Structure 1
Amino acid sequence: MNKLNKIALVTGASRGLGKNMAINLAKKGIDVLFTYQSKEEDAIETAKEIEKYGTRTAFLQLDIQNTSSFKQFFERLETCLRDKFQTNHIDFLINNAGTGTYATFQGTTEDQFDSMFNIHIKGVYFLSQSAIEIMNNEGAIINISSGLTRFCTEGYAAYAAAKGAVEILTKYQAAELGFRGIRSNVVAPGPIETDFGGGIVRDNKDLNQIIASQTALGRVGLPSDIGSVVTFLCTDEAKWINAQRIEVSGGYYL
């Protein structure tokens, strides 16, 4: 096994978009250390799929909105890096972990608002802050946002506002970390067939067809459409892409 493989830390990769990102990274020969929140059995299955590509992998439990747990998380992470990967550094951070909440602007409770901002901006902000301490120079951060920062769909005001904050954070990361050669970019998926929002895009045939009809390429997005772009941003081919928001939506709602 090549011990010089670069290493990516992917949050929330036991299923959905994160899982596809992890698998695509492995296909490119990048070792993957990923997190899961509660379903360890899903993490085990993801690890098995990653290992099929001959790369090393490991997973750790993390609740992204519990920032008080980050110190202990990074202690476990550093032990894992040393024992499993024979290093104490990572090369890439993909801030993917998250969930949505459906509530109109007027109907959003303070608890719902706090949850969205704790998960999608506070957690990302402080996890990235700690990860930078163990990231190699010439590394990269990829923050996952949403097409909902460009177009509006009723019921996602708090979620989209938090993602908008992530997009601004990305520019500041790029500006302040450039001296180390660390790039920071945003990938913003459009509607994707996952279990997000209870799987409504994937499982509601009528909605799926409506979205497809409003998409220039004529279909709804798949997880593989996103994972490949995230992986590209971790390669040398993307070395001059920095501080950019890349929407991956097939031309939805133009």
Structure 2
Amino acid sequence: MKNKTKIGSIETYRLIAQLSKREITQLARNTCKHGHSYLAHPKCAFNEKVIITKNGKKLVLKEKIGFLDIETFTFSFKADMGFMLTYCIKDLDGKVHTNKITAKECNLKKDWDKRLMKDLIKDLKGYTRVIGHYSTFFDLPFLRTRALFYDMDFPVYKEIYHTDTYFLLRGKFSLRSKSLKHSCKVFGISAKDTPFQFDTWYNAAKGNEKYINEVLQHNIEDVESTELLWKRIQRFSQVNKRSI
């Protein structure tokens, strides 16, 4: 047993010796298929391709990218005057993780999105980078504010990287509008098939399941469109190290 522990410790040392402090922290925070930290199961980090070789030499932590978007019911788009209805995180080339408010939660006197916020923060922990559209100005400030309102631990500076397709468009392209809908239309990408309608969002906030599902569908379409847009434009800019 001691021998096995010693071998595991050596493997862990060899792994972290080539990684940055931030990458080591990410390995410690994320778990392998066995439910253990990648630092405890270093072989899983390689087997599950969490760690990859760069230029045939240096080991680096492979980014796990998620496309994030939220839908809310607010006044003036402010987090202290509204709450979250749904959220979606889409894995790069993969699954869309969805969550929505319930009719029961909508009928509470307060704390409508408390459970949603708790779930979202938990879901974010598996990602090294999140990508959104206009998320610098809306999604992330809204979520950060709601998290602190509920005294929850939202990801802090340098914990997760963040890319905003709005800034890629603003810096590298000439468009009359940098909205997700217009940008996708210009580049031939499907977007906003389920458009925003105030009545839909209002009835969703009142707990109508039919309208909650319509809001969620809009949310899903947004993360799918954001991924396609990012794939079209990301090669014209270097990968940023802006924090969430």
Question: Bigger radius of gyration, 1 or 2?
Answer: 2
Same fold (TM over 0.5): no
Could you tell me the TM-score, scaled by structure 2's length?
A: 0.28
TM-score, normalized by length of structure 1?
0.28
The structure where helix makes up a greater share of residues is 1
